Structure 1
């Protein structure tokens, strides 16, 4: 493996750290909807299934968009792609905030669905741009650690969305939950414009062999033809298997993230404006950070850069954590809210670890530099197709059957088995897929 100089490592930090902050800001402008959708529903008389439908349209727009944005990023480079994504998402979050500020809510289901779907189109440029840029800066034996870094990016975004969102709701008008992320993404657009470069040679350093079969001398301005790019991705049985696994990850991840606010409110009576709710974002952040770093370290150090064995273990622990979340203690139980927040953080640890490993690391491993964005887009996109089922699907189940199977007006749930019982099977299927890829590892001649 290439031994990098201190100057190179510092310049690489100046490359990936702004990318990470940008991605975190984009997450803030994506998951702010999760924080306030219950409030929007109450104010504008939309039920949990209707708000879930808005989420589904956004998820599926994201998932389908990567068929375009993945190959696009491979052709134009990750730097341009992240700039377009951050700017577009900033404008759309600003539009949503101004829509509510100005009272333009006569046909809210239509307007919110259109604006949120457009936001998710630009959001789809985020992950694959980060992967595309870093595929030229990290050797394959360093990428497990990068998977941990990718998990930190995701986790920080959840912290900004949840904890900062709770702070905003407590001190400002609620529509600032959309306006603040717009400002953050605008600032990061300017930072990326100044600092981010596609590859080491664009920052005054030499390109190097990254160990994934891509040659250091490959010209960035000579992308693969689209047909060859598609063949490279969808004729690879490992990548196809990872796509199915990320579909499962999407359902698990968004099944938790889309409804945890309502879960805390319905089962524990914890408002998203309460001081304790702020700690949910902290729990997500630290859970995601530890999960991402642990997943990356285990992959690189214990399994010789093989990703599936670690993902298998993490999928199984997800089942345990979800089971504990389902056995909720309910209203009036002393310390129950704290227990729930800790469990959410632990659940996030094992969900975000897998997601960062598969989308942020395996995509570079098996796509190589020239197809990294397309593979990342395929994995991230199918993950959001799975996520879309949680919007109207889980929304309908919770509306019809309640959290514990008793959908009676005024009933206070004492468990959440309907919720977690719909999610757990997807973790089990993901674990099974990983057993079929147990020995998969990129080879120098693979690309």
Structure 2
């Protein structure tokens, strides 16, 4: 049932992509662009599966990985992810998004295989080093390679999508994130259940497949390491597909030059783009700082909910079983619910930006932050009293925060960075997301050990900060986009004048 719903959502996304063509591209161009972004996007979605499988493994390992240990490991990875953009953003601007996504998928697959090996050794009692040290290093290296994925997908997008189309692509970007979360939490949990040494009741077809294909018969422990190794093999498959189908720009696919009307449109074509020039232009642009800070708050808020809700629910089981039982719908369908709400949130924000705010990204971000403030206040009031309200607020939080994240990382950074520098610009912005995520990981891991009431209260100030920053960029657009919109308005007015002129003799 869940897989059918996700399939329907994917079909709806593809339909919306083909039905949204404000620049009247040829059908051939639309199909080739789809062939380009779909495998690239699915690679990025499965990178998420190879990232948040750590969360699934934490619940599977139980007390063998405490909250504090998990917080340290996750923080090591997210902080590494955030800082690595200073290196790989400029690199991807130089080598292109195709090579970048291949580095991401193959590098992450290797690290996931190593994490699977470390999990195996740990469960078999053969891991001699400290578990936290081993996983922190491997997860940090995984996140280093993962960080190539985000900048690569946005780099390729910047060449294939006009600014006036990017709100919808931001929605597609949010959808891909949502699919990745579904793969990580629901598929990951299904792998964990299928890899148990003793399965209660009759095995499902998937459990039987996993048991026979991977020959799980250690005789002593669950094969939890499969939650790392299976995504690794999937990533290798998508890397091979990307090698064949992906093109960095329409020019490479024989469609000629395509002016996307972003910040690069005003650049002198004779100027040589160097790493120093890219960093100087990005770091000297005040609006980039605002975008980065908005996404910093979204990083705190997104992972502050997505990372901790299941941990909270499982801990409530020990103290209030009735509360946990009432939360079971959210726990069992966490990945699916995150996927569906993330898709809705991404499309609502993207289409709102393009259709109602002339492709300005600040207004929808501000609206979503207002929603998050309201939801966090509700969570604070009903945290241990009303499980359905808490679960509903957590799910709706992801709807709002994916809307903000897809607009900032997936769209605004490319708009203001320009296609020539979009990997560096989006990398810095996305890096701030994961710096925020690292901070919340350490803070909530520590605070929740004292009381879970600190959880929503810690997140609340960041939603207020996100609102303030979004309001500051309410009217911001790249100069080239303003010129494009003005030109379109002038042409529309001229056309309307001609129509009125042709009608006037008849009225006289």
| 1:348 correspondence with 2:398 | yes
Q: Is the 8 A contact 1:168 1:177 kept in 2?
A: yes
Q: Does 1:380 align with 2:400?
A: no
Larger radius of gyration: 2
Q: What's 1:237 paired with? A: 286
> Is contact 1:208-1:216 (8 Å) kept?
no
Q: What is the CA distance between 1:340 and its match in structure 2?
A: 4.3
Paired residue for 1:105, among 106, 120, 127? 127
Per-residue deviation, residues 32-52 of structure 1 (Å, max 9, x unmatched)? 112222443512xx4311220
- Residue number in structure 1 paired with 2:77: 58
- 30-39 or 77-86: bigger deviation: 30-39
1:358 aligns with 2:377: no
2:273 counterpart (204, 224, 230): 224
How much does 1:264 deviate? 1.6
Deviations 1:92-137 (A, max 9, x none): 0011112222344332111111101000000111111000001000
Would the aligned equivalents of 1:35 and 1:261 in 2 still touch at CA under 8 Å?
no
Cα separation, partners in 2 of 1:276 and 1:382, compared to 1, 3 Å: closer
The answer for the alignment partner of 1:135 in structure 2 is 158
- The CA deviation at 1:242 is 1.1
Q: Which residue of 2 aligns with 1:279?
A: 333
Partner SS, residue 438 of structure 1: coil
Shift of residue 308 of structure 1?
A: 0.3
Q: Does residue 442 of the first structure (1) align with residue 478 of the second (2)?
A: yes
Q: How far is the alpha carbon of 1:300 from its aligned partner?
A: 0.4
| Cα drift, residue 213 of structure 1 | 4.1
The equivalent residue for 1:261 is 310
**Post-superposition CA distance 1:166-214 (Å, at most 9, x none):** 2112211322111121111111101111111100111121221111143
Residue 424 of structure 1 corresponds to which residue in structure 2? 460
1:289 aligned residue: 343
Mind listing any 5+ residue stretches in structure 1 that lack a counterpart? 404-416
Structure 2, unmatched stretches of 5+, are 1-21, 196-222, 484-508
- CA–CA distance in 1 between the matches of 2:66 and 2:481? 54
Task: Choose the corresponding residue for 1:78, options 79, 85, 97.
Answer: 97
Deviation at residue 320 of structure 1 after TM alignment: 1.7
Shift of 1:243: 1.3
Does the C-alpha gap of structure 1 residues 340 and 179 become closer, same or farther in structure 2, counting only changes over 3 Å? farther
Cα distance change, pair 10–307 in 1 and its aligned pair in 2 (3 A): same
1:63-120 CA distances to partner (integer Å, 9 max, x unpaired)?
A: 1100001000000001000000110001100111122223443321111111010000
Mapped partners of 2:377, 2:94: distance in 1: 44
1:335-383 Cα deviation digits (max 9, x unpaired): x3x5544333211100111001000000111010111000110000011
* CA drift at 1:324: 2.8
Q: State the partner residue of 2:171.
A: 148
Residue 437 (structure 1) shift: 1.1
Q: Please, what TM-score do these two structures have when normalized by structure 2?
A: 0.79
Deviation at 1:260, TM superposition (A): 1.5
SS in 2 for 1:214: helix
1:56·1:391 contact (CA, 8 Å) conserved in 2?
Answer: yes
**How many residues align structurally?**
425
Note the 1:310-325 alignment, pairs <5 A: 310-325=364-379
Q: Are the equivalent residues in 2 in contact too, given 1:49–1:391 (CA < 8 A)?
A: no
CA contact (8 A) 2:152 2:423 kept: yes
